[in-house]
Amino acid sequence: MERFFDGMREGKLMASRCPGCGRVFLPPRMVCERCLTRAEDWVELPLTGSVETFTEAHVRLAPDGTLEDLEDPELIAMVRHDGADTCVAARLDAPQAAVGMRVEAVLDPGAENVLDLLSCYRAAE
Ligand SMILES: [Zn+2]
């Protein structure tokens, strides 16, 4: 995952690609679940993608590992980036969501916690 996190620190989304069948994994995976080949190739993907599915969250995981109630519910989207075969889940900063909605990743390259490097998604132009 280091290459993935380092990439986001440079404002890039790096995905792993299976040299056996060509599947592209974002978030990166070490081994392709289709053909069990090591997914050791790397490709840069665009920040844009489409919402595959979404849900509304009413709680979130607090830093101490407990669940805390959210004052306002948050949209959590599963986004398939253009060129990827898998999805990334993150908060969608939009008033509403729809399947197929075009979105773009908002990166926070200066985030202290690697889990915050992908800040959220927002509607793409
Ligand atoms: Zn494969």
CA 31–ligand 1 middle distance (angstroms):
8
CA 22–ligand 1 middle distance (angstroms):
6
CA 28–ligand 1 middle distance (angstroms):
13
Return the domain boundaries, the chain.
2-123
* 51: Cα separation from own chain's centroid: 11
Q: Band the pLDDT of 1: cuts 50, 70, 90.
A: confident
Q: Read off the DSSP letter of residue 72.
A: E
- What is the distance between the alpha carbons of residues 35 and 20, in angstroms, rounded to a whole number? 7
- State pTM to two decimals: 0.90
**Tens-place pLDDT, residues 46-81:** 999 999 999 999 998 888 999 999 999 999 999 999
CA angle, residues 100, 109, 66, in degrees to nearest 5: 75
